[in-house]
Amino acid sequence: MNMFAQGFLDEVYKERPVKPVVTRFPPEPNGFLHIGHAKAIAVNFGFAKYHGGKCYLRFDDTNPEAEEEKYFVAIKEMVKWLGFEPCAVTYSSDNFAKLYEKAEDLIKKDGAYVCHCGDAEIKAQRGGESHGPRFRCEHAKQPVEQNLEEFRGMRDGKYKPREAFLRMKQDIEDGNPQMWDLAAYRVLDASHHRTGDTWKIYPTYDFTHCICDSFENITHSLCTTEFILSRVSYEWLNKKLEIYEPMQREYGRLNITGTVLSKRKIAKLVNEKYVRGWDDPRLFTLIAIKRRGVPPGAILEFVNELGVTTNPTNIQLARFDQTVRKYLEVTVPRLMLVLDPIPVVIEDAEEIELDIPFYAKAPAMGSHKLKMTKTVYIERSDFREVDSKDYFRLAPEKAVGLLQVPYPIKAVSFTKDGDKVTEIRAVYVKEGKKPKTYIHWCPEGSRKVEVRIHNSLFNSDKPDDAEGGFLANINPNSEEIWSDALIESGFDEVKRRAPWPEAAGESELGKGGPESIRFQATRVAYMAVDSDSTDDKVILNRIVSLKEDSNK
């Protein structure tokens, strides 16, 4: 199944079956991208790639007040991380001079006027609260020459913000509010990230987007459905200016339930220290999903599985995790990691060297050597002081298998310090039935690591609607830390061979990243190295649990 070969996107292509296809992904550089944007990236870059065309990364930077350098950088990195190469990185602001000329053209065609109305007046002209008749203000009657002069006055700083704005002369009889003489330019007292103080006027989205699409010869301008009504003004403006006309089509947004995506809300979580930062693995910004260890290929797989239609898609977090789990299952090696170690001395054991496959079902992944020592560490939860019939792990006189070890062991005694078992003594069971269960273990000398297990950040599936607001809905146990975990030495080879998935060819950027050191900790979870790790201290994040129901 391929989302470009069928359904909505296939129809969009058939409406305009041209070559080469040219698309664009046009983020506003005013925040970090989130999982929803991954869909927009997959749709725009993917559509061009599928049709052998090209896609621009265009920063829609016409709103100087909200833009910051760090967002430009992060957005560029995320596109690359997802495996896409823009044909060029462009900026709407690079077109400020050309856009200005188009605005003068529009005025000369009697398609725009300088208006001095305030909000209340504009509202009244649009029919007001009572949806009364619509009308134009006196400014709409000004002759072209006066509009030109006043517009140049706006450019030259003769007006303060809100004293004047350029308005398109569209069609106020049209039932579509996007045709009710929208703003094209406004005066702003702001310094722009790229153009500094050169401009005192800035074009609006409605003026800029369609013209920049035209300048870049975009064939299919794909955006989300909240722009459906804007399609009419998009087409109106290019037609009026008699410039090349791209085709705008709209697809449904991707919404994830069980989390918050709004910038304002995430900023609150970050500022009030509910999370470690914008890239906290519990968040669904792309930098967070990356840090958590989710491979980019799994995100693309997720978008593709959901498909693209004109309807918004509301998806539960669990569904995303399920795709990630399926993706990791066949692409990452297995290692043994013990979260809460307890020593087991196997009295009759001698040191042996084992050869352990990284993934038994994929022999091509190879194997690694592991020395089994007389003392091994097992999970505290894999031992019981008192045995029972329906229990199949380690207990006094109960045999359990140790993964990859030739003989099962049984416990013969244990010592305690207060309530806590501090050591188990065991012996091999060299005869008898195969044990029902095999548990994971680590030998003496294994590396100590910190493991962070993240659970859902919110209790409710709809934190936005929760009583007392989303902050009142935070799960107090959203982060569990195991600071004395042990990882077997096979980790060193997994680290050396990263990025995993090895075969899927993570993009160049993924290569250096700690999060591309991924593996399945047998019987525990899928894991990846966290960016807080240092040479001396390895910190791991759980990417996803092994089974769906153990994720909370």
Using CB under 6 A, list all residues that contact ligand ATP.
Answer: 26-28, 31, 36-37, 39-40, 223-224, 253-255, 261
Instruction: Report residue 216 as tokens.
Output: 């870049």
Residue ranges with strand state E in 358-478: 367-372, 375-379, 399-402, 409-417, 420-428, 438-439, 441-443, 447-454
Q: Which is nearer to Mg ion, 286 or 346 (by Cβ)?
A: 286
Whether the Cβ atoms of residue 73 and residue 33 lie closer than 8 Å to each other: no
Q: Which is nearer to ligand ATP, 256 or 544 (by Cβ)?
A: 256
Residues contributing to the site for Mg ion (CB under 5 A): 28
Catalytic residue of the set 263, 319, 326, 495: 263
Q: Residue 354 burial (CB < 10 Å; 0-12/13-18/19+)?
A: middle
- At closest approach, how far in Å is the CB of 254 from ligand ATP? 4
28 a catalytic residue: yes
Q: Which is nearer to ligand ATP, 40 or 179 (by Cβ)?
A: 40
Q: Which is nearer to Mg ion, 28 or 423 (by Cβ)?
A: 28
- At closest approach, how far in Å is the CB of 519 from ligand ATP? 31
- At closest approach, how far in Å is the CB of 177 from Mg ion? 18
With CB under 5 to 8 Å by kind, the binding choice for 209 among ligand ATP, Mg ion, none is none
With CB under 5 to 8 Å by kind, the binding choice for 26 among Mg ion, ligand ATP, none is ligand ATP
Cβ contacts of residue 44 below 8 Å, gap of 6+? 23, 24, 25, 55, 222
Q: Which is nearer to Mg ion, 28 or 461 (by Cβ)?
A: 28
Ranked by CB distance to ligand ATP, the top (closest) residue is: 36
With CB under 5 to 8 Å by kind, the binding choice for 58 among Mg ion, ligand ATP, none is none
- At closest approach, how far in Å is the CB of 34 from ligand ATP? 6
253 a catalytic residue: yes
- At closest approach, how far in Å is the CB of 75 from ligand ATP? 8
- At closest approach, how far in Å is the CB of 132 from ligand ATP? 32
Cα–chain center distance at 88:
22
What separation in angstroms does the CA of 164 have from each of 41, 138, 155, 210?
37, 14, 11, 23
Type of residue numbered 97: A
With CB under 5 to 8 Å by kind, the binding choice for 40 among ligand ATP, Mg ion, none is ligand ATP
Q: Which is nearer to Mg ion, 28 or 171 (by Cβ)?
A: 28
- At closest approach, how far in Å is the CB of 530 from Mg ion? 28
With CB under 5 to 8 Å by kind, the binding choice for 421 among ligand ATP, Mg ion, none is none
Backbone CA torsion sign across 222, 226, 81, 330: negative
Cα 10–Cα 12–Cα 17 angle in degrees, nearest 5: 85
Pairwise CA distance, residues 243 & 217, whole Å: 10
Instruction: Report residue 181 as tokens.
Output: 């003489």
Q: Which is nearer to ligand ATP, 215 or 377 (by Cβ)?
A: 215
With CB under 5 to 8 Å by kind, the binding choice for 223 among Mg ion, ligand ATP, none is ligand ATP
Torsion of CA 424, 428, 433, 439, to 10 degrees: 50
263 a catalytic residue: yes
Instruction: Report residue 353 as tokens.
Output: 């060297």
Whether the Cβ atoms of residue 379 and residue 338 lie closer than 8 Å to each other: yes
- At closest approach, how far in Å is the CB of 44 from Mg ion? 14
Phi, psi of 128 (to 5 degrees): 60, -170
What separation in angstroms does the CA of 228 have from each of 8, 176, 184?
15, 10, 19
With CB under 5 to 8 Å by kind, the binding choice for 224 among Mg ion, ligand ATP, none is ligand ATP
Pairing of strands 479-487, 447-454: antiparallel
Pairwise CA distance, residues 425 & 414, whole Å: 6
Catalytic residue of the set 253, 326, 447, 523: 253
Q: Beta-carbon neighbour count of residue 448 at 10 Å? A: 13
With CB under 5 to 8 Å by kind, the binding choice for 286 among ligand ATP, Mg ion, none is none
Q: Which is nearer to ligand ATP, 59 or 500 (by Cβ)?
A: 59
Ranked by CB distance to Mg ion, the top (closest) residue is: 28
The residues annotated with a catalytic role in the active site are 28, 253, 263
